[in-house]
Amino acid sequence: MFKKKMGILLLTGLFIATPLFQSPAQASEASTKQTKYYTEELEHLYPESDYANNDTMEKAQFLQHSLHLSKTYLYHEGSISSLDDIDFYRFTSSKFDGADGRFSIKLVNVKPGNDFDLYLYNKNGSLVSSSVRTNNQNEIIHMPKIDASTDYYIAVKPKRLLNEEDKMYRIVFDKSIEKVTTKRYGSPATLNSFNEAGSPNSSFDLSSLPQDAVVTGVSLEADKGSTNAHNYVFTVSSLKGGSVNVPWNGQKVDISSYKTSQVPAKDRFYVSFNATEVPQFIGGRLIKVGVVSIKNLQLTFEYEYNRDLNY
Cα–Cα distance list, 239 to 129, 143, 152 (Å): 31, 29, 37
Mapping DSSP to helix (H, G, I), strand (E, B) and coil, where does residue 63 land? coil
Domain boundaries, the chain: 7-175, 179-306
| 3-state SS track over 209-223 | CCCCCEEEEEEEEEE
The span from the CA of 128 to the CA of 200, in Å, is 48
Mean pLDDT to the nearest integer, 233-261: 87
> Please, what CATH class does the domain formed by 179-306 belong to?
mainly beta
Say whether 179-306 and 7-175 share the same fold.
Answer: yes
16 vs 120, higher pLDDT: 120
- pLDDT tens digit sequence for 18-34: 443 445 445 444 443 33
Residue from 275, 264, 188, 207 nearest 235 by CA: 275
The count of residues in the chain is 311
Kindly state the average pLDDT of the residues 32-59: 52
3-class state of residue 67 by DSSP: helix
Rg (CA), the chain: 29
- pLDDT single digits (tens) 208-227: 999 899 998 999 999 999 98
- Average pLDDT score over residue span 173-186: 93
CATH number 2.60.120.380 is the correct assignment for the domain at 7-175: yes
The pLDDT of residue 278 is 92
